[in-house]
Chain A
Amino acid sequence: MISEIIKRILYLIPVTLAVIFITFIVIYSIPGNPAEVILDLEATKENVAALEKEMGLDQPLYVQYVIYINKLLHGNLGYSYRTRRSIAGEVRSYYPNTIILAVFALVLAVVIGGIVGILSALRPNSYLDFAFRGFSVLGISVPEFWFGFLLILFFAVFLRWFPSEGKHGISSCFLPALTLSFSAIGTIARLLRTSLLEIFHEPYIRAARAKGASNVMIVFRHALKNAMIPAITVLGFMMGRFLGGAVVVETVFNWPGMGRLAVDAILGRDIPLIQATILILALTYIIINLMVDLLYLTLDPRIRFH
């Protein structure tokens, strides 16, 4: 087992290095001279040269790369070219918001997805089941940003139950979290339904019934424990998606999180910020995926014990 864990961690090192390299290269992949791009309208020859020197663009490539890595290791993410503020500082204030949203969304996905999935499996092919299944497919079909608008229209404007944007305390979390989790709810519900239905046909379920276990016990003590294994891994990946890619939702709801920071950076061509946000989000995603992988190893006793 330990060897498996180590193997997986080692496996990631080349990928991580590649990711870091890619975020570095991003500067040069944007057509044109990066300094010119940043300065845009103010790009006079002197300004460009000065900026190039400041950004270290006049150095050879590998030197720049080394400087880049060095800065990263010291936690120096540079300065945003639009706001002139320290990026590390920005990240420190924006990142936690993304985490809050992600956790909230995860809870919603588990609770609602769980209920829908279990109920569907308990009464397969009933009207309720068809309704739930349709709902689940709808959940993964609806475009996130549009769903967000629908929710805003209905709950914020029409009913006035929730604020329509920004971060103003707990109630403002709800709509963005719901939007973010909507497709996850559909995915979890479908997955649980399929797993549970398969499990219900397994011999050990019949044997448990022969023991005198009630239906409730069968579902919760026996079936769910087995269904949980694939479900938790999927939840883990969803969490990765929430943390790493809540870009659209954060934009729609004007939520001050990392996703919005990234979009603002890209739209504003703020190259250091682009580099930093993409790097952080990608690393987050990699680490979460690793954790999910490891979690899976520990959950299934068949794998845990040889």
Chain B
Amino acid sequence: MELFNRIKGNLGNKTLFAGMAIIAILLFCAIFPNWIAMYDPHAQNLENVLQSVSINHLLGTDEFGRDVLSRLIYGTRITLAIIFVSVLTGGFIGCLFGILAGYIGKFVDTIIMRLMDIPLAFPGVLLSLAAIQIVGKGVVGIIIATSFYAIPQFARLVRVCILSARESFYVQGAQAIGESHISIIWRYILPNIWAPTLVLATLRCAIVVQIAAALSFLGLGVQPPTPEWGAMIAAGKMYLVRSPHLTLFPGLAITITVFGFNLLGDALRDIMDVKL
């Protein structure tokens, strides 16, 4: 596809390369954690509690003696799982709404858009907080909560793309010769929304990581003993002064992940020349 070709052609772009490299490493950690992690993330070792950085435990141990590095690596799995499911569902539903609103237009458009404005009326974290209230804590809760905000963003974006594509001559021409709506959408409209949607999805991943971590930090997200980075920071809060490594490293992991997604999103945006 044209997309892959463009990316291939731009691999010299430092931002793109860095972003893809980071994501690749994360994916690797998520899919094959047992290859790199030295310890079982759940293995407690009460004699080795709160140890600082050492050769045995590259990033130290936590309050239960568990190896921090291993927990971080396994945590990648949860984080990426949350991101992908959240963005994919939110994105898919949002796109659907956007296509309906954009293509059918008029009344349907107004209603859908008005509906989409409602979640946007709530500031980000707050919406997720409220959603968690309703849906309940835990991984599923985070996924649903974070996808709520994504739906209107994707819907708006897709709608705008479709509106402008609909006005274009080749679509009007296709309609004039009686091509079916489904066919028009599939052949002319969808290719146009690929690029901006991909960029938005990437940037959305960055945000979801943040929100998921924040929610877990507040105790509303992933529950212990599952190793999730935000939760690890929350747990480490009590030992902030004595053992700062408990908060330092998970936060670093989050930062690097978000950084990677942001770089990737930026690079994609520049390459595909999208105005977001």
Stretch from A57-65, A67-75, A167-175, A277-285 contacting the other chain: A277-285
B182 contacts partner chain A, Cβ-Cβ < 8 Å: no
A31 to B136, CA, bound (A): 8
B262 touches A244 (CB 8 A): no
Can you give 7 contacting A-B residue pairs, CB < 8 Å?
A: A30-B133, A143-B254, A144-B214, A146-B233, A263-B129, A278-B122, A282-B126
B65 at the interface (CB under 8 A from A): no
A266 interfacial by beta-carbon distance below 8 Å:
yes
When the two chains form the complex, which single residue of A30, A146, A244, A262 contacts B255, counting CB atoms closer than 8 Å? A146
A157 touching B241 in the complex, CB below 8 Å, given contacts A149-B251, A244-B126, A266-B220: yes
**By the criterion CB–CB under 8 Å, are A266 and B123 in contact?**
no
| B118 touching A19, Cβ below 8 Å | yes
B188: interface (CB < 8 Å): no
Report whether B217 and A138 are in contact in the complex, using a CB–CB cutoff of 8 Å: no
Q: Evaluate whether A149 and B130 lie within 8 angstroms (CB atoms) in the complex, with A19-B118, A247-B125, A267-B219 already known.
A: no
User: Which chain A residues in 142-201 approach chain B with CB under 8 Å?
Assistant: 142-147, 149-150, 152-153, 157
Q: Does A93 contact B (CB under 8 A)?
A: no
Q: How far is the CA of A304 from the CA of B209 in the complex (A)?
A: 40
Which of B240, B251, B262, B266 meets A143, CB within 8 Å?
B251
Range for the number of chain B residues in contact with chain A = 35 or more
Are the CB atoms of B133 and A149 closer together than 8 Å?
A: no
Asked whether B262 lies within 8 Å of A141 as measured between CB atoms, the reply is yes
Are the C-beta atoms of B218 and A267 separated by less than 8 Å? yes
A257 within 8 Å of B by Cβ? Answer: no
Picked from B123, B219, B220, B248, the residue with its CB within 8 Å of the CB of A285 is B123
> Does A143 lie within 8 Å of B118, measured CB to CB?
no
A245 vs B274: C-alpha distance in the bound complex, in angstroms? 29
B206 at the interface (CB under 8 A from A): yes
Other-chain contact of B262, A22, A140, A248, A262 (Cβ < 8 Å) = A140
With A29-B133, A157-B241, A248-B218 as known contacts, state yes or no: A146 contacts B125, CB within 8 Å. no
Q: Contact between B133 and A274 (Cβ–Cβ < 8 Å)? A: yes
Chain B min CB distance to A282 (Å): 5
What 0/1 readout, one digit per residue, does chain A (245-282) give for beta carbons within 8 Å of chain B? 10110010000000000110011000000100010011
207-237 of chain B: CB within 8 A of chain A: 210, 213-214, 217-220, 230, 233, 237
Instruction: Tell me if B244 is interfacial: C-beta within 8 Å of chain A.
Output: yes
Which residue of B219, B244, B250, B266 contacts A153 across the interface (Cβ within 8 Å)?
B244
Chain A residues closer than 8 Å to B244, beta-carbon distance = 153
B73-88 residues at the A interface, CB under 8 angstroms: none
Instruction: From the candidates A149, A157, A247, name the one contacting B129 in the complex (CB within 8 A).
Output: A247
Query: At the interface, yes or no: B117 with Cβ under 8 Å from chain A?
Result: yes
| Complex-state Cα separation, A146 to B220, whole angstroms | 17
Instruction: Decide if A137 is an interface residue (CB 8 Å cutoff).
Output: yes
- CB-based A-B contact count at 8 angstroms: 123
Question: Is B59 close to A, CB under 8 A?
Answer: no
Q: A145 to B217, Cβ gap below 8 A?
A: yes
A208 close to chain B: CB less than 8 A: no
**A15–B129 touching, CB < 8 Å:** no
Q: How far is the CA of A286 from the CA of B250 in the complex (A)?
A: 34
- Complexed CA–CA distance, A240 and B130 (Å): 18
Interface residues of B in 108-124 (CB under 8 A from A): 114, 117-118, 121-124
Whether the pair A241, B123 counts as a contact (CB closer than 8 A) is yes
In order of increasing CB-CB distance, the 10 nearest A-B pairs are A146-B251, A244-B123, A245-B123, A141-B258, A29-B134, A141-B259, A285-B123, A143-B254, A245-B125, A18-B118
Neighbouring B residues of A31 by C-beta, 8 Å: 136
Residue of B nearest to A25 (CB): B134
A141 to B18, CA, bound (A): 15
List A contacts of B210 (CB < 8 A): 143-144
Which chain B positions have C-beta within 8 A of A278? 122, 126, 130
* Contact, CB under 8 Å: B134 / A30: yes
Let me know if A14 is at the binding interface, CB within 8 A: yes
Contact partner of A248 among B134, B206, B217, CB < 8 A?
Answer: B217
A29 to B134, CA, bound (A): 5
CB distance from B84 to the nearest CB of A (A): 19
Alpha-carbon distance A251/B220, docked complex (angstroms): 13
Report if B147 contacts A (CB, 8 A): no
B126 touches A142 (CB 8 A): no
Is A50 an interface position by the 8 A CB rule? Answer: no
CA distance A222 to B26 in the complex (A): 45
B51 contacts which chain A residues (CB < 8 A)? Answer: none
Given contacts A15-B114, A141-B259, A143-B258, contact A149 B220 (CB under 8 A): no
